[in-house]
Amino acid sequence: MTDAEQQDQGPHPAQHWFDDDAGPVVRPYAMTRGRTSAATRHRLDLIAVVVPEPAADDPGRDQTLSPEHVEIVERCSDTPQSIAELAAGLDLPVGVVRVLVGDLVEDELVHVTRPVPPAELPDVSILREVINGLRAL
C-alpha cells in the first residue's frame, strides 16, 4: 500500500490518481541487455504458469543464463508460478519477466501453460468447480 493510500480515507481528489497507479520508471533494464521479445513469441499471459522441464536439472545447460533466469527456474521448481507472481516475487516489471521467461522457453528449460484461450469462457464443468471451491473456502 502506498503512503497516499494509507493517509487518504474515503473519496479521493482526482489529483491523487496519478500518484497511486502510475510512477516513473527508475529501474535499470540491463538484465535484458536491451534484447527484445522476438516477434514470434506470443505475449505471455499474466496467469500463464511457468513449469521447469526435466532438462532444467542438468547442470551443463545454464552457462549463459543470468541470475534472474536461474531464480525464475528455482522459484518454479517446487510449485510452478504464474508470470504475475514471478514479476511480483522478483520485483521486476512484467515486460522484463516476459523476456526472461521467453529465453528459458527458447532454451527448453521451461514450458508455459496456456491459459483459457482468448475470447472463450472456461467450460461449464470448470465454472461449477470454481463455485464449489469458493463456497468451500
Partner 1 sequence: MAFGRSSRKKPLVEPVTLKILVAGGFGVGKTTLVGAVSEIRPLRTEEILSEAGRPVDDLHGVENKSTTTVAMDFGRITLRDDLVLYLFGTPGQDRFWFLWDELAQGALGAVVLADTRRLEESFAAIDYFERRGIPFTVAVNCFEGAQRFPAESVRGALDLDPEVELLMCDARDRESVKNVLVAVVEHALVLADRPAAPVPT
In the region spanning residues 80 to 99, those forming contacts with partner 1, defined by CB under 8 A, are 80, 82, 84-85, 87-89, 93-96, 98-99
CA distances from 62 to 37, 69, 71, 121 (A): 20, 9, 12, 38
As beta bridge partners, residue 112 has 50
Which residues, including other chains, have CB under 8 Å from residue 97's CB and lie 6 or more apart?
72, 83, 86, 87, 90
The mark string for 3-32 relative to partner 1 (x by CB under 8 A, - otherwise) is: --x--x-xxx---xx--xxxxxx--xx--x
Interacting residue with partner 1 among 43, 64, 66, 106 (CB under 8 A): 43
- Min separation Cβ 4 and ligand GDP, Å: 10
**Residue 37 engages partner 1 in binding (rule: CB under 8 A):** yes
Distance between CA atoms of residues 99 and 86, nearest Å: 12
- Min separation Cβ 122 and partner 1, Å: 6
Q: Look at residue 15 and give the partner it binds from ligand GDP, partner 1, none, a contact being a CB closer than 5 to 8 Å depending on partner kind.
A: none
Half-sphere exposure of 95 (CA within 13 A, CB side): 10
Closest CB to ligand GDP belongs to which residue? 5
**Residue 137 engages partner 1 in binding (rule: CB under 8 A):** yes
67 Rama sector, left if φ>0, alpha if ψ -120 to 50, beta otherwise: alpha
Residues that bind ligand GDP (CB under 6 A): 5, 9
